[in-house]
Amino acid sequence: MTKYIGVLTAGGDSPGLNAALRGLGKSAIGYHNMSVIGFRDGFRGLVENRTLPLENATLSGILTLGGTILGTSRDKPDLMPVGSKVLDMTEVCVDNYRKHHLDVLVCIGGAGTLKNAYLLHKQGLNIVALPKTIDNDVWGTDVTFGFDTALGIATEAIDRLHSTAQAHHRIIIVEVMGHNTGWLALGAGVAGGADIILIPEIPYDINIVAEAAVRRWREGKRFSIIAVAEGAMSREDAAILQKAEERKKQAKKEEKEAAKAAIAELEAKHIGNTMRLAAELETMTGLESRVTILGHLQRGGTPSAADRLLATRLGTECTALIDKGVYGVLVAARGEGSKAIPLEQVAGKLKRVPLDHPWLESARRVGTCMGD
């Protein structure tokens, strides 16, 4: 009996999404004799029932394309903006799943997408998820597709900034994406030879950072490259945020909204932190400081060979699991193979950089300052 697969891409766009759609679609159609339909723009497309049949012609020629032919959004099934209101559209998602007589819905995305996928799984839908994000923060998988491409882009940016930093004797601060984890900044910082790396997992002391830059100057190294993750925080700000989160956990029901508002205020304050860091370092060291924020540049362009391989491998494994009737799982990368991990074990979790990770150890051994 033919199985009917629905698929959507949600969250931020990422290199390798089209490769995953191609791997999933071609193996489903040609190898397992399944039918595949895509929903446009993430969970919003599922709610609005906007579809794109994924056939061999549609999937041809997309392996090397960045972005996603389905489009994406960050909309959540249970908190969907509809007109001037925010509504719970979970039941609509379930209804449209059933209208298409789907056997399974494949959700391709990062940590937020996995939470939404698990929500639909708890409503009785058959769900399989694939791990996509440049942040590499999906719990349970060795790596996510999109990460390798973004890592290469960030590393190349640091490589290029070395020459201008050296020529003008400047501190160059490169802000790298990564949300609340430091995988991208750490990897690019080590690969690109950054002198100082600041990541969310290690709150930094601004005095130590300034001392490291001044010490390089005194040693005759008239420039410093700092790779900073967008979520990196000073020790003071990290302590304030931790206390606010603890208050939120301990707060009674009527006090939780106030605690949430306090956390939101702290997060809003963090916007522009890299620019403030540059100004503080310039004042403290007397050295000219400049900031380069890579932003969405890290998401774009042709996916790397490694990301194409990973996305194709996980996409084809996804259809193999569907063929066996294995649902409610994340198809995680494990070495050169994969492992099906129950969604309930991964939803709501982030894979942070362990403080004993080999990348960190290597960074310290070559003299990189981590701000601590």
The pLDDT score that the predictor gives to residue 145 is 96
d(CA 341, CA 326) in angstroms, rounded, equals: 10
CA angle, residues 148, 152, 154, in degrees to nearest 5: 115
All domains of the chain in start order, with CATH:
4-145+303-346 (3.40.50.450), 149-299 (3.40.50.460)
The pLDDT score that the predictor gives to residue 253 is 67
Nearest Cα residue to 110 out of 88, 131, 91:
131
> Tokens for 302?
């042709």
List C-alpha distances in Å: 220 to 77, 117, 146, 217, 311.
56, 54, 38, 5, 45
Nearest Cα residue to 72 out of 103, 50, 97:
50
Q: Say if residues 170 and 139 touch (Cβ distance below 8 Å).
A: no
The pLDDT score that the predictor gives to residue 254 is 65
- Kindly write down the DSSP assignment for every residue of 134-184, as one continuous string: TT--BTT-S--BTHHHHHHHHHHHHHHHHHHHHHHT-EEEEEE--TT--HH
* Catalytically annotated residue among 41, 135, 137, 148: 135
User: Number of C-alpha atoms within 13 angstroms, CB side, residue 154?
Assistant: 38
d(CA 170, CA 223) in angstroms, rounded, equals: 5
The pLDDT score that the predictor gives to residue 341 is 97
Q: Say if residues 41 and 69 touch (Cβ distance below 8 Å).
A: no
Q: Is 159 a catalytic residue?
A: no
> Tokens for 250?
């301990």
Q: Say if residues 140 and 352 touch (Cβ distance below 8 Å).
A: no
> Tokens for 18?
């089209």
List C-alpha distances in Å: 289 to 159, 222, 286, 327.
17, 12, 9, 52
52-83 b/e (C-beta count within 10 Å ≥ 16 → b): bebeeebbeebbebbbbbbbbbebbbbebeee
Global pTM value: 0.93
Dihedral sign (CA 305, 311, 315, 316): positive
157 sits in the region (left: phi over 0; alpha: psi -120 to 50; else beta) called alpha
In sequence order, what are the beta bridge partners of 330? 129, 341
In sequence order, what are the beta bridge partners of 372? none
In tens digits, the chain (372 residues) has pLDDT values of 789 999 999 999 999 999 999 999 999 999 999 999 999 999 999 999 999 999 999 999 999 999 999 999 999 999 999 989 999 999 999 999 999 999 999 999 999 999 999 999 999 999 999 999 999 999 999 999 999 999 999 999 999 999 988 888 899 999 999 989 999 999 999 999 999 999 999 999 999 999 999 999 999 998 999 999 999 999 988 888 888 777 777 777 666 777 777 777 777 777 889 999 999 999 999 999 999 999 989 998 999 999 999 999 999 999 999 999 999 999 999 999 999 999 999 999 999 999 999 999 999 999 999 999
d(CA 191, CA 316) in angstroms, rounded, equals: 31
CA angle, residues 171, 176, 178, in degrees to nearest 5: 150
**Which residues does 21 contact at the CB level (< 8 Å), separation at least 6?**
7, 9, 38, 54, 59, 62, 68, 69, 70, 108, 315
